[in-house]
Amino acid sequence: MSRIGKLHIAIPDKTEVSVADGVVRVKGPKGELTKPLHKAVTVTVGDGAVKVDPVAGEDGAKALWGTYASHIQNMLAGVTTPYVKKLEIEGVGYRAAVSGNELVLNVGFSHPVNMPIPAGLEVTVEKNLITVTGIDKELVGQFAANIRAKKKPEPYKGKGIHYVGEYIIRKQGKKSA
């Protein structure tokens, strides 16, 4: 039994939730999100709350029950307050810039790395800090992970791109005799 799936999800003020044709649609002050439903779960809306239930006899229904409850909860939170991920660039000559609809990274390669910014996200760069903002938690997290993957922090000098607050385990370099 899913502990998360059993709970009713409260709908915040100024937010609407509708379910039609196997798609959950959440509309709020910051925007609108949609998510297709799997046939193993059913979603009902009523009395200011959303309820997710597993379909009896479907394979994986119990596994998807709590997952879809969490997805809907994230959608409700995102349309009221956007999600933010911050990444920090460390290294001499490492820098980032936003030009048009692309994020341009200069992180020690012989060429700049251009990353197209997905629709629905806002990316800002201030000195060595990249801020990714959006209402879709999955999209914000995935784009931030893609940025970090371009130049992961290395353990000896700590150069690379890492999340703000992420602890990098440092290794000791070669000892001189």
pLDDT digits (tens, 9 = 90+) for 110-147: 999 999 999 999 999 999 999 999 999 999 999 999 99
Q: What span, in angstroms and rounded, lies between the C-alpha atoms of 92 and 76?
A: 41
pLDDT higher than threshold 90 for residue 59: no
The answer to whether the Cα torsion of 160, 163, 165, 167 is positive or negative is negative
**What domains sit in the chain, N to C, each tagged with a CATH number?**
3-80 (3.90.930.12), 83-163 (3.90.930.12)
Here the contacts of 11-15 (C-beta below 8 Å, separation 24 or greater) are 11/45, 11/48, 11/49, 11/50, 11/76, 12/76, 12/80, 14/80, 15/76, 15/79, 15/80
Q: What is the pLDDT, as a whole number, of residue 60?
A: 85
* β-strand pairing of 16-20 with 49-54: unpaired
Chain-wide mean pLDDT for the chain? 94
Q: What span, in angstroms and rounded, lies between the C-alpha atoms of 17 and 37?
A: 14
Separate counts of helices (H) and strands (E) for the chain: 3, 13
Q: Please report which confidence band the pLDDT of residue 72 belongs to, taking 50, 70 and 90 as the band edges.
A: very high
pTM equals 0.91
Q: Please report which confidence band the pLDDT of residue 165 belongs to, taking 50, 70 and 90 as the band edges.
A: very high
Q: What is the pLDDT, as a whole number, of residue 58?
A: 82
